[in-house]
A and B are shown apart, each in its own frame.
Chain A
Amino acid sequence: MCAKSLTSISPVFPTTVVKRRVVKLIVNFLFYFRTDEDEPIGALLLEQCRVEREDDQVFSIVFLDEAERKYLFECDSQEQCVEWIDAVVKASYEFMRKNLIYYRTEIHRLTGKDPLEQYGISDETRFQVNSGLPPAAT
């Protein structure tokens, strides 16, 4: 979990609205708060999204189903920007699942053993290369 103060930039035609927010990354959610409050005013679920560097200190989050809308965040420094981008990219459950499948496959390739067997979790659908379940309602 990392809490940093970022500036969220909302492009609102004709002007751009810039708001200072405290942003917290908790698992695959980006919560944002008004600086003096305990309760978040909003959250972004970080699945099916793309993170990009916009500028030295600015990154954007774009959701795949709504690619025209960019959530812009301005950091206090370049380093902070790089850190945030890295953190947000790694904050998706799907990203972690892909890594897990890669590690599992690779360990099996190198050792001939399934590393999940010792924990008795080899059959859990979330760890399968292809879960085999039909996709959700179209």
Chain B
Amino acid sequence: MKLNERSVAHYATCNSPPDKTGFLFKKGERNTAYHRRWFILKGNMLFYFEEKESREPVGVIVLEGCTVELCESESEEFAFAIKFDCVKAKVYKMAAENQAAMESWVKALSRASFDYMRLVVKELERQLEEVQEEARSSQAKSMLKKHQLQLQGATFSLQNATITGPSQEGVSSRENGVSWSKPPSVPNGVRDTQGDCSERGDGVRPPPVPPRRKTNGGSLESPVSPGTGCFSKLHDWYGKEVAELRIEWLQSQIHW
């Protein structure tokens, strides 16, 4: 069977990090003595070289679907074998130089398969999605709470407010042309007064009040009045600052 041998050999010696290297004894195919070879494990491929300094591997064992077993050998201590399911397949008999090396190699080789790597990747992918989903939903929950509080404040003082900017859904930008009178009473003890950050019952501080935007005329009006008629522009103008502040506040609140 043909193989892209040159490229396979290149993979063995290229600078991608090997998973394990070391000397092992390998039982020969024709000459059944054990020969000392330099082994390099990369991914699911076990390459072996005549010498540590050799430029090209003498051979390679594809480890996919293999099992690694300890085995008894008349001549060698610390012997193990690489076996495959297929009846026709060769059994590779190996021996390490000491107990620790043998255990380390057996462990490394038995987990060298592509399938094993794929399994771990899928599991981490799933975990990351979970973590990201949790972050998103807790972000949404705290935004919802924040908006609810603002809306409560808003309801109380609507009759007194002078609004010169648009009020967006759920987000009332209190600076920049929107002035609120103090709400007479606010449930759960939060007072959203300007410049004042009071503590809520559950210990979470409401976001700091954004600084007043200064315009040329020194007035507090928004530079873009509702009369402009371009709501997307307005959304951008308000939205950007709110978004930035939102992120800043959330980052200070989230404890990982």
Contact = CB atoms under 8 A, between A and B. Distances in A.
A107 B2 CA distance: 42
Nearest to A39: B1
Contacts of A42: 1-3
A45 B13 contact: no
A115 B6 contact: no
B62 to A, nearest CB: 8
For chain A, which range describes its interface: under 10, 10 to 19, 20 to 34, or 35 or more residues? 35 or more
Q: Decide if the interface of chain A is mainly helix, strand, loop or mixed.
A: mixed
A33 B63 CA distance: 22
A97 to B, nearest CB: 7
Contact of B117 (A47, A96, A137): A96
B35 interface: no
Contacts of B117: 93, 96-97, 100, 126
Contacts of B132: 110
A107 B21 contact: no
Contacts of A107: 124, 127-128, 131
A119 B111 CA distance: 13
Interface string A3-39: 0000000000000000000000001110000000001
A105 B15 CA distance: 22
Nearest to B60: A45
A135 B11 CA distance: 11
Given A106-B128, A136-B18, A127 B121 contact: no
A48 B21 contact: no
B12 interface: yes
Interface of A: 27-29, 39-45, 47-49, 63-66, 93-94, 96-97, 99-100, 103-104, 106-107, 110-112, 115-116, 119, 121, 124-127, 130-138
